[in-house]
Amino acid sequence: MSYIATDIEKVFQSVELERQIRRLHRAVGNAVVDDKHVVFAAGSIQLINALVHALSPDANAASPPARVVATAPYYPIYRTQTKMFDGREYRWGGTTALWGNASRNPTDGFIEFVTSPNNPDAQLYKPVLGGSAAVTVDHAYYWPHFTHIPAPADEDVMVFTMSKPSGHAGSRFGWALIRDENVAKRANDYVQNSIMGASRDTQLRMLGIVKIMLANLHGKEDIFAFGHDVMRTRWRRLNAVVSRSRRISLQRMAPEYCTYFKRIREPSPAYAWVKCEMEEDDDCYEALLKSKIITRSGALFEASSRYTRLSLLKTDDDFEVLMERVTDLVNAENYDE
Ligand code: PMP
């Protein structure tokens, strides 16, 4: 197996896989692909820095480094990866709360990361800076088993991954949809320089997976119908227990109309964003850990430590153990009425 795939322009990228990914987006209705370039990478994590590089001023340019920002709570790797490579081209600029929006402040030279649905709180967010800020929207969870799809996403720079729709996180495959040709070229150059193109073994495997997903859409083996069913049931069960608690609460999510299922669907988030309500539980992560519930502290997402993220993406067995522990935690609450 040589390095080269099939396209003369993008020598390391399978034309057939790109075609099937475009078909999948069209069939699911979660992204507008016709006016976008597609750039493959080793997971969407690699695309974070590829896109920061692609959207930053050239290292030789006279302009100051770009500032990379996100709104809290945000996926922490935007910060850790940008900080790791901080330099002449760009630097981590903190949360958008420090900068305000275009009506009050210049937005030139900003790169804003938005995650929609968000990791950790599963809400559909929009960019907040506005003006001339470049925006990268991470749509890792913008698939019908995790969220309703109100309309196809159509931002200038979007990131997707196979880690979430099919669960093949270990295969390491992500892609960006990019409107501007020059930005796509710079992102592509980054991936070529970094790893000489996404693994061809992985590309072949992804081709098989995307074809199977496509062949079964809306049928008996529809991966999204299956995934929605599992995730909605988990969310419903967790809510039923937590609704009896005064100690912890969850983010509110309402049923919404989904253009994929063509009906109102119940929420089915990948993560629960847990809030500890009692004064003494100011470190919610530690409070849950005492009940053997492992979460990720809100502090990592630059939010308050009163919050912590509970992942609902696990095996059925692990989810049952989680439910037992949450139930024990809630049952142990004892109030004098
Ligand atoms: N973006 C978000 C918002 C994520 O939650 C994750 C995985 N936790 C990633 C990107 C990384 O995905 P990948 O496996 O494609 O690198």
119 lines ligand 1 (CB under 6 A): yes
Could you give the CA distance from residue 221 to residue 233 in angstroms, rounded to a whole number? 18
CB of 174 within 8 A of CB of 46? yes
The predicted structure's pLDDT at residue 337: 65
Q: Which atom of ligand 1 is nearest to the CA of 141?
A: 3
Is residue 267 reached through a cis peptide bond, with omega within 30 degrees of 0 on the bond before it?
no
Which among 51, 52, 77 is the best mutation to test ligand 1's pocket, defined by most ligand atoms within 8 Å of the CB?
77
The predicted structure's pLDDT at residue 150: 98
Query: Is residue 313 over pLDDT 70?
Result: yes
174 lines ligand 1 (CB under 6 A): yes
The predicted structure's pLDDT at residue 10: 64
Nearest residue CA, atom 1 of ligand 1? 140
Burial (CB < 10 A; 0-12, 13-18, 19+), residue 192, is middle
The domain ranges of the chain are: 15-216, 223-331
What average pLDDT does the segment 183-200 reach?
Answer: 92
Which among 75, 124, 168, 271 is the best mutation to test ligand 1's pocket, defined by most ligand atoms within 8 Å of the CB?
75
Of residues 306 and 336, the one with the higher pLDDT is 306
Distance 272 CA to ligand 1 centre (A): 16
What average pLDDT does the segment 20-36 reach?
Answer: 98
Element (H, E) at 316: helix 316-331
The predicted structure's pLDDT at residue 8: 57
45 lines ligand 1 (CB under 6 A): yes
Query: Is residue 5 over pLDDT 70?
Result: no
DSSP 307: E
- Provide CB contacts within 8 A for 114, sequence distance 6+: 70, 71, 125, 126, 127, 135, 136, 137, 138
Distance 98 CA to ligand 1 centre (A): 25
The predicted structure's pLDDT at residue 326: 98
Q: Which fold has domain 223-331?
A: Aspartate Aminotransferase, domain 1 (3.90.1150)
121 lines ligand 1 (CB under 6 A): no
Task: Note the pLDDT tens digit of each residue in 320-331.
Answer: 999 999 999 999
Could you give the CA distance from residue 87 to residue 267 in angstroms, rounded to a whole number? 41
Q: Which atom of ligand 1 is nearest to the CA of 174?
A: 15
270 lines ligand 1 (CB under 6 A): no
Give the three-state DSSP class for 16.
helix
44 lines ligand 1 (CB under 6 A): yes
Query: Is residue 55 over pLDDT 60?
Result: yes
What average pLDDT does the segment 176-196 reach?
Answer: 94
115 lines ligand 1 (CB under 6 A): yes
Could you give the CA distance from residue 52 to residue 283 in angstroms, rounded to a whole number? 33
Which residue has 């475009």 as its token pair? 22
Give the three-state DSSP class for 27.
helix
Distance 48 CA to ligand 1 centre (A): 10
Q: What percent of the chain has pLDDT over 70?
A: 96
Q: Which fold has domain 15-216?
A: Aspartate Aminotransferase; domain 2 (3.40.640)
Query: Is residue 162 over pLDDT 80?
Result: yes
Task: Note the pLDDT tens digit of each residue in 105-154.
Answer: 778 899 999 999 999 999 999 999 999 999 999 999 999 999 999 999 99
Nearest residue CA, atom 2 of ligand 1? 140
Distance 278 CA to ligand 1 centre (A): 32
What average pLDDT does the segment 275-287 reach?
Answer: 97
The predicted structure's pLDDT at residue 105: 74
Confidence band of 87 (pLDDT split at 50, 70, 90): confident
Query: Is residue 7 over pLDDT 90?
Result: no
Long-range contact set of residues 182-186: C-beta below 8 Å, sequence gap at least 24: 183/51, 183/54, 183/55, 183/156, 183/157, 184/37, 184/39, 184/54, 186/53, 186/54
Return the bridge partners of 39, or none: 176
Confidence band of 72 (pLDDT split at 50, 70, 90): very high
HSE value, Cβ hemisphere, 13 Å, CA-based, for 152:
15
Alpha carbon of residue 155 to chain centroid: 15
Distance 146 CA to ligand 1 centre (A): 14
ipTM comes to: 0.97
Q: Which atom of ligand 1 is nearest to the CA of 163?
A: 14
Torsion of Cα atoms, 53 then 57 then 61 then 66, to 10°? -100
Give the three-state DSSP class for 40.
strand
